Every structure is written in structure tokens, then in C-alpha cells.
Structure 1
């Protein structure tokens, strides 16, 4: 099994209400993906409630293989969900590890 963890930082100068709206849209879109992409074993999106921390969004997901993670990355449903952050994303960090 491969765990896929991604952290997103949104632009500091973006209006707070816009950030919250986009974060909630992203969470809803990503958490709907297992119904559309059969090889996602688990997905969870956390929205940071601690404004003193660096990252705004944490995405946790599980797949059977790294090949499935790579297929997920280019899947049209995932690409559409990821585009929700396109205008507000400042940075992204990712770790994929096998257990």
C-alpha cells in the first residue's frame, strides 16, 4: 500500500473569505473522488484551523501502488479538482511512501 500525503499553502494576500470558500470546494471535490476513481482506497482532506501554522490544507490518501498514485495524478476528475486551487496555491509539498 502507498500513502500519498500532500500539503498546500495558499497565498497569504488572498482574501480570507475567498480562501475559505476555495478550501471547502477543494475538500468537497477531492473527497468525492473515490466514487469516481475506483483505485483510491481512502482519501481525507483536512483544513488547518491553526492560523499560526504554515500549511492550509492537508490531503491524505491511500492507494495499492505507486502506479495508482501516478494514474490518479493525471485522472481528469482529479485534475479538475486540483484546478480549484490553481489561482490561490502558493506552494505544495508531497510525500509518497510504501507500507
Structure 2
């Protein structure tokens, strides 16, 4: 099994209401993906509630193989979900590891 963890930092200069709307839309879109992308075993998105931290969004997901992660990453539905935060995203960090 491969665990896929992604953190997103949003731009400080982006308006708070625009960031919150983008975050909520992104969360809903990502969490709807298992019905559209069969290789996803588990997925969840957490919106950071601690304003003292750097990262705004955490995405946690599980797949059978790294090839499944790659399939998910390039799937049009996933790409469309990513565009929901594109205007407010500053940075992204990712780790994929096998257990």
C-alpha cells in the first residue's frame, strides 16, 4: 500500500474569503473523487484550523501502488480539482511512501 500525503500553503496576500471558498471547494471536489477514480482506496482533506501554522490544507490518501498514484495524479477529475486552488496556492509539498 502507498500512502500519498500532500500539504498546500496558500498565498498570504490572497483575500481570506477567497482562500476559504477555494479550500472548501477543493475539499469537496477531492473527497468526491473515489466515486470517479477507482484506484483510490481512501482519501481525506483537512483544512488547517490553527492560524499559527504554515500549511493550510492537508490531503491524505491511500493507493495499492505508486502507479495508481500516478494514474490518480493525471486523471482529468483530479486535475480539475487542483485548479480550484490554483489562484491562491503558493506552495505544495508531497510524500509518497509504502507500508
TM-score by length of 1: 0.99
Instruction: Look up the SS of the partner of 1:70 in the other structure.
Output: helix
> Deviation of residue 45 (structure 1)?
0.1
* 1:52-85 per-position Cα deviation (integer Å, ceiling 9, x unaligned): 0000000000000000000111000000000111
How many angstroms apart in 2 are the aligned matches of 1:38 and 1:28?
A: 17
Report whether the alignment pairs 1:63 with 2:63. yes
Distance 2:78 2:19 in 1: 20
Q: How does 1:1-99 map to 2 (within 5 A)?
A: 1-99=1-99
C-alpha distance in 2 between matches for 1:70 and 1:37: 12
Gaps of 5+ in 2: none
In the alignment, structure 1 segments of 5+ residues that lack a partner are none
| 3-state SS of paired residue (2:54) | coil
Q: TM-score, normalised by structure 2?
A: 0.99
